[in-house]
């Protein structure tokens, strides 16, 4: 069992500002009550013309929303590409550039838990971020100067139902029965991204997925994750001495 109170540092890589709440907002609420330091690396944050809004959002609006989320979940953040007009264009960047940036973030944060977007997504930004972050998390022994993250998971969002890739089976769950409201409150911080039902990003859709995932493990609400790496270590392991 991976416990929040056993973690010291958590790094979340979020292609856009809202993916982290959609994918693991319940877990973020729990981590805010734990000793762990949580850092979110937003990859592309821009002004953009979204479906459902009459006017384009601005970069300044998006940063204010991020600040509200950071305050609510007591986390820190950085933006890799701020106001660079790269929303939905991350697949046009050299993969090597993304790998280097993610690798630097991992070596700086020294996380024992790394959370990545699912690679089974129609969104080219999410696919590009996952692919580069997966490469950045490759296990080069620490004696050679690279941090090896013990636990690497992928988070899911409601939009994954639209994918040509087979959906991976959930292999780890987080019971968020007491934290669904906190997750939805975090979603509402993203005023420019908030949508009413029947939008796939509506509170009703988020709650429905949490309810389904909860029933899969016998609780009211849960978030599901894919496991890319999970390391079990004995008490004498150097991993436990950080």
Share of the chain above pLDDT 70, in %: 95
Q: Residue 71 is encoded by which pair of tokens? A: 């305050």
pLDDT tens for 108-125 read 999 999 999 999 988 999
Pairwise CA distance, residues 171 & 45, whole Å: 30
As to burial, measured by CB atoms within 10 angstroms (0-12 exposed, 13-18 middle, 19+ buried), residue 97 is exposed
User: Which has more confidence, 237 or 71?
Assistant: 71
Give yes or no for a contact between 11 and 109, defined as CB atoms under 8 angstroms apart: yes
pLDDT tens for 23-61 read 999 999 999 999 999 999 999 999 877 766 677 889 999
Distance between first and last Cα of the chain: 19
pLDDT tens for 138-158 read 999 888 889 999 999 999 998
Domains (range + CATH), the chain: 4-241 (3.40.50.10320)
Lowest mean pLDDT among 138-142, 182-186, 216-220: 138-142
pLDDT at residue 70 in the model: 98
């Amino acid at each position: 069992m991976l416990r929040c109170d056993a973690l010291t540092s958590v790094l979340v890589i979020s292609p856009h500002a809202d993916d982290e709440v959609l994918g693991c907002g319940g877990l973020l609420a729990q981590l805010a009550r734990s000793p762990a330091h949580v850092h979110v690396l937003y990859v592309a944050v821009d002004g953009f013309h979204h479906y459902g809004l009459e006017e384009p959002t601005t970069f300044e609006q998006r940063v204010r929303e991020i600040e509200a989320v950071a305050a609510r979940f007591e986390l820190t953040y950085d933006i890799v590409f701020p106001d660079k007009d790269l929303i939905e264009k991350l697949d046009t960047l050299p993969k090597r550039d993304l790998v280097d940036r993610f690798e630097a973030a991992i070596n700086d944060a020294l996380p024992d838990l790394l959370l990545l977007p699912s690679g089974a997504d129609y969104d080219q930004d999410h696919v590009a971020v996952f692919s580069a972050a997966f490469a950045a998390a490759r296990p080069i022994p620490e004696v050679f100067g690279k941090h090896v993250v013990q636990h690497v998971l992928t988070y899911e969002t409601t939009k994954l139902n639209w994918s040509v890739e087979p959906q991976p089976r959930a292999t780890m769950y987080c019971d968020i029965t007491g934290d669904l409201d906190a997750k939805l409150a975090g979603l509402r911080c993203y005023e420019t991204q908030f949508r009413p039902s029947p939008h796939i990003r509506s509170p009703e859709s988020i709650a429905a997925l949490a309810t389904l995932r909860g029933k899969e493990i016998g609780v009211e609400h849960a978030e599901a994750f894919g496991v890319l790496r999970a390391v079990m270590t004995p008490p004498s392991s150097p991993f436990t001495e950080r």
